Structures are given as structure tokens and as C-alpha cells.
A and B are shown apart, each in its own frame.
Chain A
Amino acid sequence: MKLLLIDHEDSFTYNLAHLLSSFGKLEVKNYYDVKESTVKKSDIIIFSPGPGKPLDYPISLEIYEKFKTKKKIIGICLGFQLIANGEGGIISKQEKIFHGYQTYIRTNNKSLRFPNNHMYQVGRYHSLKLKEPFDSSTMHITMRCEETNVAMCLESHTNDICGLQFHPDSFLTPNGKQFISKIIQFKK
């Protein structure tokens, strides 16, 4: 299996790369020099975390739009927000900023990849959040922050797409690999 990790020059990308590398042949490319031919050859596209907002990365948004029905897509943090943006969601500032926080999140019954009503402890690095109401016929919010109720996971019911607002790659997320493993093993 070929995995392509699109790096938005984050300082957490390679933590994610180490998690991903046990699932197949991983290639890491900077967002500004990804070639479409590389994307086409990959089985899974992963959008990395990164600074700023989705609109700062038009090339990544374009790749998402082109391949969202064709490939398995995973987004982490900014990657989650890129997916949300690609599905018509708005990314906005939040009251409390979560940089380096460990918090609890809970799954709901819309999740296809994770057990219902399950609590996880996760590490978080984000200033921005998905603004709600978020209306999408195909994409569902399947995890939320216990404290603020902010969206923590987006799952598609029609395509093979899943985004996580938190960091499975952080040392603040115990057993972070299980999240990646469940997403990768999921079959539509």
C-alpha cells in the first residue's frame, strides 16, 4: 500500500509519518511540490497538520476536491479543517485556544470507524475550529470535545474520508496509533 503524506510545513508532521510508516510505503511531500502523478499513484492521501487556515493552501484544497471520491483520505488538525472546508464548512476562531492540551473527547452513534459513546484522551494543537451548524449530507461529526463540544472528528458515510481535529501523533494521545489503524483498516 502506498501512502502519501502532504506536509504543510508543520513541526508535528514527522511524528505522524512515523505512525503511518508501519502501514505501507510512505512518501512525504511538501504541499507546494506535490505532483498530481504522485497523488494518482498513492492509495491513501494524508493531509498533515500545519499553521494557518485551509484557504492558505489552495493546492491541497484542489487535491482534496479532485480525489475525494477516488482515494482514502485522512486529515489531521489543519488536514481535518481542509476536509471540512472542502465540504462547505467554515473554519473560525475559538474562544479558548488549545495548544499542547490533553483533553477528553467522546464518540457518537454516527461513527462508522469507532465504537459509539467511547471516551478517549487526546492531545490538541489548534486555534481554529469547525464552525457550526455544519450541514452536509455525506459528512458527519462523530467525535466532540467533552469540555467545549467542538467537533473533533469528521467521517464520510459515502466516501472513504476521515478527519481528526486532535493529534494522534502527539505524546499526549495515549495509543495514538489505534486511531490511524482504525481509519486505514476501514473499508467502505
Chain B
Amino acid sequence: MNNSAILKTLLASDKDIIIYRNSEKNNFELYTDFIEKINLNINNLDKFLNKLDKFKAKKKYDCYIGFFGYELLCKNLNLIVNKDKHAFPEGVFFRPQTKIVIDSKIDIFTKSKLDLIKSLKTLKNSKNISKNKIKVSPSVENYEKIFNKFKKNIKAGETYQIKIAQKYSNKKDLDIAKLFFQLMKKNLSPESFCIRTKEFNVISCSPENLFKVKGNKIVTSPIAGTVSRKKIKSTKQARQFFENNQKEDKEHNMIVDLERNDLSRITKPSSVKIQKLKFVQKYQYIYHNVSDISGTLHEKVKLSQIVKAMMPGGSVIGCPKINTLKLLNKEEKEPRRIYTGSFGYFRSIKDMSFNIIIRSILNFNNNNEVFVASGVILDSTAKNEYHENFLKAKSLLDLLK
């Protein structure tokens, strides 16, 4: 079997896989043959993070790759969250023994190629669940109620910016790997990934990196500001739109200061710098306004401190983070699960990358769910934001049709 045939058979099999886009190299990395799978909860989280402090990957395929869910990250900040009726795993990390780099040619790094080939026997059998109408929660009426409550909270200074999440869901059997590459053709986002397991599946075209650590340098690239490509035709026009739009501009300022703050918790004094302020990125249906902020990590920084300082990522929550999370968890009824959590890999305390899980489909318990959120703005109406959300979800909802 040549490498390309191995990959093809692997994708068609029912083996657990994770695919993560590497935007620096402009390719995809597929991980499989997991020798460890750690289900995280609030009781074992610190132990896991402390273990990773000492971990150093030596082989090309070695790393811990997985996600921290929203509810786990809230609990990590001592916040109360809604209970999940279906007990979705709050966080899962895998340790692979095979990595396949998918580029113009296919490279395989593995502990044993023979074992890999032998493991590819099982072919997936499709369940063919008939497709179902897409449901939305909360309803327009409930969304409006929450929206107006949060407006009052803003006027009273209890939050400066808050983002309400909305859930779209349906039932349909998905061919995860196939759909992922289909999505990548249309909407190649820098932080795209997919997780295929027997328990649950995720397809994501997340555009947002939460942080990258290389050596003792940490960089975060928050997104704040979205505009439809229906209205705006070029990157230059988008640039002007973000500059002239008071609401988008102020929101972005707030997130820049929030991220500077979060980095300041774990970095050397005066090392936090704005590398690039407010630049435009183009996607399938939208433009985003992004900034890059960096800092030099404290010498003896621990992974648990980095996670606590940075997660959940502020740009998708609001500001100030703690009180805004409290307000959100009080009003939102649906567990967010992976949404606004973080996915990424860890090779050592000096080499890791985590994103913010947005623009994602979670397939769990025979159900597909897509969350999107938008900010509560004093001079905007609930109905406006409700429809704005649909736009953000569109490229994913296309896949569920």
C-alpha cells in the first residue's frame, strides 16, 4: 500500500482520527493510533495539566491533541454552569502514534506502519438517518428577552460587552472526513479541525487562534468585528468599514485591552506588545477584523496558569470576563459543550497552540449542533443580531442540508 492508498482507506474506515490545519505550512495534519485518551473533568484537570508541564514530545507524531469544553473552562474559574443532560465529555485529549501530513505529497510518521495498515480493515457502515429540519434555540422571543436584560446590565456597568449564543440543530448522519474536506474547499479557515470518534464528531472551520507558544513567546490573535461580503466587496473596503463603524471599532479596542490583560497574567512585566493592530481577514461569506498581541512568558510558567489566564477566550465571551460569564451562564439554557472552548495540541511547555472553537458542527447522540453568537449592542435590536447570527452559521448549515 502506498501512502495515498493508506490515507484513503483510513479516511473511509471507522478509526478514530483528528485532522488539524497547519496554516503556516498550508497543509493538514492527521493524527491517529491513539495510545492514550484522557477524558477530562474538573477533578482531574489540574493533574493532567501538571503532568503536561514535564512532557516533551520527542517523535514527530508525539503530542497531546484535544479540546477543553466551555463548561470545564468555566468550572476551572470556579463558575457555576448548567448541567448537561446527555453527559457530553467536558474535555478530551489524545496521544497519537501516527501523524500523516497531507500536502502535495503524503508523508507518514508512525511508530509502526505495519500496525497502521493492519488496523484499516473495518469499513464504516452508514446509518443513513433521514435529514431533519433545523431547529433554533433560543426562539426569537426568548432571545429578545435575554438581549434586553443584557442591555440593562451594560447600562449599569455590570458588563461592557456580552455575546449571546444561539444553537441550530438537526438530525442527519454525516460522513465526517468527507464533509470536512468539502468544507475546506469552500471555507479554508486557519484553525480548521475535525475529530472523528465513535462517541462524538466535530467539524470546525474556526478562524480564530487563541494562543501559540514558541519558546518563551506567546501570541494571541483575537477577532472582533465581522461584516458580510454581500455588503462589502474588497479587503480595502472592509478596512474602511471597520475604521468608520464606531460599534465595531470600540468592541475591538475592548478585546485588545482584555487580551493584553490576560497575557499580562502570565508574562514578564512590560513584555506585552501589540504586534499588529486591526487588520482584515477574508472568508467565504465574511470579513473579520483581527489584531496580534504578544508577550514573553514568565520563566517558570505552568500550563495550568496559561489555561486559567487565557481560557475561555475573551473575544467570544465579552468583557470583563468573569462577570460576563456569570451573566451568560444564568440566562443561557443550552450547554455550550465544545462551543467557545479550545482545541489544540501540546508538544511541550514551549511548543503548543490552541484555538477558539467557533464555526463548528458537533455531532453527538444522533444530533448535529452549530452554535453562533453575537454581541449585545445598545443601539441595535435583538432581531438584527438574531439574523446576523444566521449569517455566521451559514457555511456550516449548508452542510447539514
Pick the contact of A15 from B250, B252, B261 — CB < 8 Å? Answer: B261
Partner of A127, one of B154, B314, B323: B154
CA distance A11 to B249 in the complex (A): 18
Count how many pairs of residues, one from A and one from B, have CB atoms less than 8 Å apart in the complex. 95
Which residue on chain B has the smallest CB distance to residue A50?
B320
Q: Are B264 and A53 in contact (CB under 8 A)?
A: no
Q: Does A72 contact B (CB under 8 A)?
A: no
A64 CB–B CB distance under 8 Å? no
Q: Quick check: is A21 within 8 A (CB to CB) of the other chain?
A: yes
B258 pairs with A11, CB closer than 8 A:
yes
A167 touches B257 (CB 8 A): yes
Q: Does B161 contact A (CB under 8 A)?
A: yes
Assess whether A171 is in contact with B256, with CB atoms less than 8 Å apart: yes
- Contact (Cβ within 8 A) B264 A171: no
**Is residue A107 within 8 Å, beta carbon to beta carbon, of the partner chain?**
no
Report the minimum CB–CB distance from A30 to chain B (whole Å).
10
Say yes or no for B292: interface residue by CB 8 A criterion.
no
B262 part of interface (Cβ distance < 8 Å)? yes
CB contacts (< 8 Å) of A97 on chain B: these are 154-155, 378
Cβ of B320 and Cβ of A12 under 8 Å apart? yes
Question: How many whole Å from B178's CB to the nearest CB in chain A?
Answer: 41
Interface centre among B154, B155, B254, B256 (most CB of A within 10 A): B254
Q: Is B93 in the interface zone, CB < 8 Å from A?
A: no
For B327, the closest partner residue in chain A by CB is A51
User: Beyond A11-B321, A18-B272, is A100–B251 a contact (Cβ under 8 Å)?
Assistant: yes
Residues from chain B with Cβ under 8 Å of A171 in the complex? 253, 256-257, 260, 274
Taking CB atoms and an 8 Å cut-off, the chain B residues in 131-159 that contact chain A are 154-159
Hey, which chain B residues are within 8 Å of A21, CB to CB? 269
Q: Is A101 an interface residue (CB 8 A)?
A: yes
Chain A interface category by residue count: 20 to 34
Structural contact, B158 and A11, CB atoms closer than 8 A: no
In the bound complex, how far is the Cα of B253 from the Cα of A171, in angstroms? Answer: 8
B396 is an interface residue with CB less than 8 A from chain A = no
Interface residue A47 (Cβ < 8 Å from any Cβ of B): no
A35 within 8 A of B: no
The answer, yes or no, to whether A14 is at the interface (CB within 8 Å) is yes
Contacts of A169 in B (CB 8 A): 257
Query: Is the CB of B322 closer than 8 A to any CB of chain A?
Result: yes
B270-A18 in contact (CB<8A): yes
Q: Is the CB of A125 within 8 A of B262?
A: no
Q: How far is the CA of A123 from the CA of B258 in the complex (A)?
A: 13
Cβ contacts B160-185/A at 8 Å (1 or 0 each): 11000000000000000000000000
Please, which residues of chain A bring their CB within 8 A of the CB of B160? 51, 99-100, 125, 127
Say how far A132's CB is from chain B's closest CB, in angstroms.
Answer: 18
A118 at the binding interface (Cβ < 8 Å): no
B320 touching A22 by the CB < 8 A rule? no
Cβ contacts under 8 Å, A102 to chain B: 253
Question: B262 to A123, Cβ gap below 8 A?
Answer: no
Q: How far apart sit A153 and B156, CA to CA, in the bound complex (Å)? A: 21
The chain B residue with its CB closest to the CB of A49 is B320
What is the CA–CA distance of A10 and B278 in the complex, to the nearest angstrom?
Answer: 23
Q: Is B265 an interface residue (CB 8 A)?
A: yes
Contact A170 B158 (CB under 8 A): no
Within B241-290, which residues are at the interface with A (CB < 8 Å)?
A: 249-254, 256-258, 260-262, 264-265, 269-270, 272, 274
Q: Which of A70-118 touch B at CB < 8 Å? A: 78, 93, 97, 99-102
Q: Are A93 and B320 in contact (CB under 8 A)?
A: no
List, in ascending order, chain A residues with CB within 8 A of B158's CB.
51-52
Q: Which among B252, B257, B265, B320 is the interface contact of A123 at CB below 8 angstroms?
A: B257
User: Is there a chain A Cβ closer than 8 Å to B108's Cβ?
Assistant: no
In the complex, whether B210 has a CB less than 8 A from a CB of chain A is: no
Pairs across A and B, CB under 8 Å, 5 listed: A11-B321, A50-B320, A52-B157, A97-B378, A171-B253
Known contacts A9-B322, A102-B253, A127-B154; 16 further A-B pairs (Cβ under 8 A): A11-B261, A11-B262, A11-B320, A11-B321, A12-B320, A14-B265, A15-B260, A15-B272, A17-B264, A18-B272, A52-B156, A52-B157, A52-B323, A100-B254, A123-B253, A127-B156
